[in-house]
Structure 1
Amino acid sequence: MLGTNPYDANFTIPEQLRVDALSFDGDLLTIHTSTERPAAECPLCGQPSRRVHGRYTRTLADLPWCGTPVRLRVRVRKFFCDEATCERRIFAERLEEVTHSFARGTDRLRGALEWIAFALGGEAGARLARELGLLVSPDTLLNRIRGAFLADPEEVRALGVDDFGFRKGNASGTILVDLERHRVVDLFEGHSAGSIARWLGQHPGVEVVSRDRSNVCREGVNAGAPGAVQVADRWHLLRSLVLGLEEFLLRKRTALGKAAASGTGSEEEDGLPGSIDDDGVSPLSVRLGRPYGSIEGPAHKRHERLVERWKDIRRLHLAGASVKDIAEWVGTSQSTVYRYRELSEPPPRPGYRRRASVLDPYLPYLLKRWNEGCRSAKRLHAEIRERGYRHSVDTVNRLLSSFRHTEQQGKKPSHAPRAKKGSIAGASPTAKNVAALFMRREEMLSGEQKEYLERLCASDAALADARRLTQDFAKMVRSLEGEKLDRWLGEAEASGASVMEKFATGLRKDLSAVRAGLTEEWSNGPVEGFITKLKLIKRQGYGRANFDLLRARALAA
């Protein structure tokens, strides 16, 4: 039914029916019809019959006309079956291409409801149907999804496999996508090697399987389709490298900070052009958010808790405890244990640094008007809107609150600072930011970023090797240069960067799939796209996205 469009033609009466009368009561259009065929075939033996036994009336809901609900009242005949060997003596004529036996609506109405149900689900679909003149409940639309006929998928040659979260945190499922046709092939609960192997065993035509680097997918494909070419997804390869880089750079935190400090020097930040400094008042930073003390206190307590957690993790790690046991005893995640166990010093406490604000271009003008005596946020908001400001008055109101706070301290707001420019901000860049710079193409780096990376690599040979090898691997991935993989693995294993040695060792465990990922064009990109669509379908379900409904809508998407 989903293969046809119920709105291909204008509203017409089916050819098998003849209109006898019309009636309209203001809210409902009723069309009285009857059949024209002189004979009907028995549904059991198929023999035609002309002997009429009697008549009865069927009431069928139909597509609306100009937003008005339509009801068909069809005069149906009963016939005698004269075939001596037939078990049925009396039968009713079938309304083929109009409706099915025992149905209470026409086939084209059912098709329209299925289109709405598969596109919008229950609640949203019912609202749209009411606007179109279709009187239907959300439960009825969900039943249309469950009862819809879904054709068997065609033979799949290139398959994408991945897991998705059916329920957040406590349930997972497996999605299979045809990478050639970009369609969902199947969806089933659970994510295990056995379920993937069973599905592949039932579909022996699969030649290529794109997957992530998890053991579940690898073992499932090896068991279910040992002859298929396995392709490791390129995004997951780069993601694994980035995570390793972040863990490696955390242990180089001192070098990251020194490279940034040597570039910034001890110069103070300049104020905004046009900042006011009259009456000999010393400059005072303008607070655009909460007072500094309200941020400093909780931040100090949070840092104390982090230091205590680091001490516990280090003590248990040096005692020989495993990562899993440490995570359970300390009450944190295993990723935190991996990050903290290698730190020889407590994690430093990040300093409070003012962020850039949408009001920065207008601070000089606002300071001037404030010092002139204007205290109305609405008036100042209207004035800076004429100068190009496009945000809400609430931001202006918060700024004026900080001005009042400054004046209550007996001082005059006279200086408007600005946030530092560039991506290398502050004296201690994070490992995540530096890892992103390692991955970024050389031509996309700014001058400041290039200078920072040059200082950083010059200070540590291991960091220089890590950046060089990261750039080479990223280029291999982007250009599909799998023939260079063996040479790169040799350089990584011989380098002084432990992260590259560890990453190369992991690649060798799945070398054939990694090589195919760096050579073939297949990837898990379409699979990730359908996982995003699954999340949208679940949200549209308003809590009514059970697995059978989710699977049906995903297969029809």
Structure 2
Amino acid sequence: MEELLPQLAAVRVEAGDGPLRIAARTLDGAPVVCPGCGRASGRVHSRYVRRVADEAVGGRPMVIDLSVRRLYCENAGCSRATFVEQVAGLTRRYQRRTPALQRVVEAVGSALAGSAGARLLEFLGHAISSTSVLSCLMRMDLPARSAPRVVGVDEFALRKGHRYATILIDAVTGERIDVLPDRKVATVARWLREHSDVRVVCRDGAGTFAQAATEADPTLVQVADRWHLWHGLAEAVPKEVAAHSSCWAKAGPPLREGNAPPTPANAGSRSTGSWTRASACSSARAA
């Protein structure tokens, strides 16, 4: 049994017939360290049975009925009068799964999240609801991630009703770094101050992120991203052509009878329309 289930090496195991259920009992006499003060104690207060789910064996779920001791803390200055012993590799405080099964649930939840994760776990022999999978996923510690030197900042809509959040990405790799709950100047500025490794902020042309970067650190370099550069250029070119239509119209072909010369009122619409038709013709020829 110890070779098959090494996490049960510290307890006495009694395996019964029928469903895969194991009755186990912690060893008597072994002192246990109090989690409050760190002092060892062997004075037993009582016992009770914990039901702990473990990894499936042969496609069948396994449950361990573990009898554990509640002990007195013999340190008068400790805030804990009693405490329950924990078995390394088998139990954790307030947890009804073994660490091994917990790692399986976390791995499946990280890959598939709620409903899909619950269906795969059921196939593996674990009846866990989608809500429990999501709850386990939300309790996982996020991996430590350093902020990049060049960060991209942009907003996105959460749902209808003009609710927006802010997304921050690594402008070099495109990897998502963080998501902020709103797009307020104070929220973005606080994040930038907390991540002093950021030296370049790649943003759109709105003033919100510009003000946030300036408030966080005036020495931050602020640049426009490639999409907004091309978008701004595409909007500026027709306006610039229309603004100078009175200049280039004089060099064009002579006006036909009945056609009025361009005026400031109609120059913009005429030039823009000509520019659009020319672009469409060029695209058609290229196709």
Fold match by TM threshold 0.5: yes
Displacement after TM superposition at 1:60 (Å) = 0.8
| 1:193 aligned residue | 185
**How many Å separate the matches in 1 of 2:171 and 2:270?**
47
**Aligned alpha-carbon RMSD (Å):** 3.8
- Percent of aligned positions with the same letter in both sequences? 30
Q: In the alignment, does 2:86 pair up with 1:160?
A: no
> For 1:204, which of 193, 196, 199 is the aligned residue?
196
Displacement after TM superposition at 1:39 (Å) = 1.8
Q: Cα deviations across residues 258-288 of structure 1 (Å, max 9, x unaligned)?
A: xxxxxxxxxxxxxxxxxxxxxxxxxxxxxxx
Letter in 1 for 2:63: R
| 1:76 aligned residue | 68
**How many Å separate the matches in 2 of 1:341 and 1:41?**
87
| 1:46 aligned residue | 38
> For 1:106, which of 98, 106, 111 is the aligned residue?
98
| 1:231 aligned residue | 223
Q: Cα deviations across residues 297-333 of structure 1 (Å, max 9, x unaligned)?
A: xxxxxxxxxxxxxxxxxxxxx6xxxxxxxxxxxxxxx
Change (3 A) 1:149 1:51: same
| 2:77 aligned residue | 85
CA contact 1:80–1:89 (8 Å) conserved in 2: yes
Q: In the alignment, does 2:168 pair up with 1:242?
A: no
Matches within 5 A, 1:117-516: 117-151=109-143, 153-167=145-159, 170-179=162-171, 183-245=175-237, 342-344=268-270, 431=279, 434=282, 449=286
Structure (1/2) with the larger helix percentage: 1
Letter in 2 for 1:343: S
**How many Å separate the matches in 1 of 2:281 and 2:136?**
50
Letter in 2 for 1:109: L
> For 1:67, which of 35, 59, 64 is the aligned residue?
59
| 2:261 aligned residue | none
**How many Å separate the matches in 1 of 2:21 and 2:40?**
31
Change (3 A) 1:89 1:123: closer
Match of 2:219, SS? coil
CA contact 2:150–2:198 (8 Å) conserved in 1: yes
Change (3 A) 1:125 1:11: farther
> For 2:24, which of 18, 29, 33 is the aligned residue?
33
CA contact 2:154–2:204 (8 Å) conserved in 1: yes
> For 1:56, which of 36, 43, 48 is the aligned residue?
48
| 1:303 aligned residue | none
Q: Cα deviations across residues 431-473 of structure 1 (Å, max 9, x unaligned)?
A: 4685xx6xxxxxxxx9x63xx9xxxxxxxxxxxxxxxxxxxxx
Q: Cα deviations across residues 476-510 of structure 1 (Å, max 9, x unaligned)?
A: xxxxxxxxxxxxxxxxxxxxxxxxxxxxxxxxxxx
Displacement after TM superposition at 1:58 (Å) = 0.6
Displacement after TM superposition at 1:243 (Å) = 4.3
Q: Which runs of 5+ in 2 are unaligned?
A: 244-264
Displacement after TM superposition at 1:135 (Å) = 1.0
CA contact 2:8–2:90 (8 Å) conserved in 1: no
Change (3 A) 1:180 1:240: closer
Displacement after TM superposition at 1:341 (Å) = 10
Letter in 1 for 2:269: L
CA contact 2:49–2:68 (8 Å) conserved in 1: yes
| 1:514 aligned residue | none
Change (3 A) 1:80 1:191: closer
Displacement after TM superposition at 1:76 (Å) = 0.9
**How many Å separate the matches in 1 of 2:233 and 2:173?**
31
CA contact 1:213–1:233 (8 Å) conserved in 2: no
Match of 2:55, SS? strand
> For 1:14, which of 7, 11, 17 is the aligned residue?
7
TM-score, with structure 2 as normaliser: 0.74
**How many Å separate the matches in 1 of 2:134 and 2:126?**
15
**How many Å separate the matches in 2 of 1:136 and 1:433?**
61
**How many Å separate the matches in 1 of 2:115 and 2:88?**
32
Match of 1:343, SS? helix
**How many Å separate the matches in 1 of 2:5 and 2:232?**
60
| 2:108 aligned residue | 116
Match of 1:103, SS? coil
Displacement after TM superposition at 1:67 (Å) = 2.6
Displacement after TM superposition at 1:245 (Å) = 5.0
CA contact 1:55–1:75 (8 Å) conserved in 2: yes
Letter in 2 for 1:18: V
CA contact 2:192–2:198 (8 Å) conserved in 1: yes
CA contact 1:157–1:207 (8 Å) conserved in 2: yes
Q: Cα deviations across residues 500-554 of structure 1 (Å, max 9, x unaligned)?
A: xxxxxxxxxxxxxxxxxxxxxxxxxxxxxxxxxxxxxxxxxxxxxxxxxxxxxxx
TM-score, with structure 1 as normaliser: 0.41
Displacement after TM superposition at 1:164 (Å) = 1.8
Letter in 2 for 1:12: L
Structure (1/2) with the larger strand percentage: 2
CA contact 1:249–1:431 (8 Å) conserved in 2: no
